[in-house]
Structure 1
Amino acid sequence: MNNREGSPGNTGADRRETGQHMEGVAARYLQKQGIGIIDQNVFSRGGEIDLVGRDGDTIVFFEVRYRSRGSLVGAAESISWRKQQRMLRAASYYIHRHQLWNYNCRIDVIAVAPGVTARYNIRWIKNAIQA
C-alpha cells in the first residue's frame, strides 16, 4: 500500500492530491450520468462542498468520499454527524450566496473504492444527507 491509499504515513499533501483526483473521477462519472457540473471545491464559512451539479431542475451538492482497499469503514459510512452538519451549513450558505432559493436542492454522496473488475467501484447515494 502506498501513501496515497491511506497508510499511516499519509501526509496532508498526499490526501489533498488523492481527494482532487477522486473528485475528478466522480465529476466524470456524474457527467456520464447526465449531471452538469456547476462548481467544484467550493470553500465558505459554512464548510467545503466537493462538487455542485445540476440534475434537471435540482441543484445537487456532492460529497466525494474515497476509502482504499482494507479500510475498516466504507467511504459513505465515514461521514460523521459533524461532517453532515458542516455540509448542510455549506449548502445553505451556497444557496443564499447564489440566490438559489427557488430551486430544489439535495445533498448526495459519491463513494469511491478500488474496484475488482473496473478501476473504481463508484456508489451514488442520492439524498444521503437531509436537513
Structure 2
Amino acid sequence: MGFLKSRAAADAAPVTTRQRGQAGEDRALHCLQAAGLRLVQRNYRTPGRGGGEIDLIMRDADGTLVFVEVRSRGRQGYGGAGGSIGAVKRARIVHAARHYLLRWPAPPPCRFDVVLIEATGLQWLRAAFDGDAQPG
C-alpha cells in the first residue's frame, strides 16, 4: 500500500515553474495570433551568461517586429505580474533584442510589448517600454 500512496503523491505533484511559464506563453501566443500577429521565433536567448531572453518575437501586420515579454503570476502580491519587470529585466530584454537584430541588414521598426497573465485574466500592453532601457 505504501507504493500506492507514493504514486498518488507523485501524480498530485505541482506543475513546475517552467511548465507554468510555457502554458502562459502558449496563452499569450494564442491571443497575439488572434489579433493578427505572426510568430517569428520563440524563446530567443543570447549566448553566454547574463544575457537575455525574449519569450516571443512576433511580426505585426504593418511589418513591425514585436519583442514580447510574458509574465504570469497566480497572486497579486509584490506588484503582480507587471511588478516583476524591473529595470534590469527590461535591459536584458533590450540587450537580447539588439543581439537578435544583428542578423538583419536593415532592421524593421520594433517595439517591446508585455503580456501579463494573472488570476484575473490576460492584459496585453503594447509598447510597454522602449529600447533605451538601462539597468537601475
User: Which TM-score band (shorter chain)?
Assistant: 0.7 to 0.9
Following superposition of structure 1 onto structure 2, how do residues 16-31 of structure 1 map, counting pairs within 5 Å? Answer: 16-31=18-33
Bigger proportion of residues as strand: 1
8 Å CA contact 2:76–2:118 kept in 1: the answer is: no
Following superposition of structure 1 onto structure 2, how do residues 3-18 of structure 1 map, counting pairs within 5 Å? Answer: 3-4=14-15, 14-18=16-20
Size of the aligned set, in residue pairs, is 115
Gaps in structure 2 of 5+ consecutive residues: 1-12
Cα distance change of structure 1 residues 77 and 96 upon mapping to structure 2, 3 Å threshold? same
| Correspondence 1:50 to 2:55 | yes
Q: In structure 1, what is the Cα distance between the partners aligned to 2:110 and 2:68? A: 11
Q: Percent identity?
A: 36
Q: In structure 2, what is the Cα distance between the partners aligned to 1:128 and 1:33? A: 17
Out of 33, 38, 60, the residue aligned to residue 40 of structure 2 is 38
Q: Secondary structure at the match of 2:43?
A: strand
Shift of residue 129, structure 1, vs aligned partner: 1.7
Shift of residue 50, structure 1, vs aligned partner: 0.2
Q: In structure 2, what is the Cα distance between the partners aligned to 1:87 and 1:127? A: 13
Shift of residue 70, structure 1, vs aligned partner: 4.4
Give the structure-1-normalised TM-score. 0.81
Tell me which structure has the larger Cα radius of gyration: 2
Give the structure-2-normalised TM-score. 0.78
- RMSD of aligned residue pairs (Cα, Å): 1.6
Shift of residue 124, structure 1, vs aligned partner: 0.7
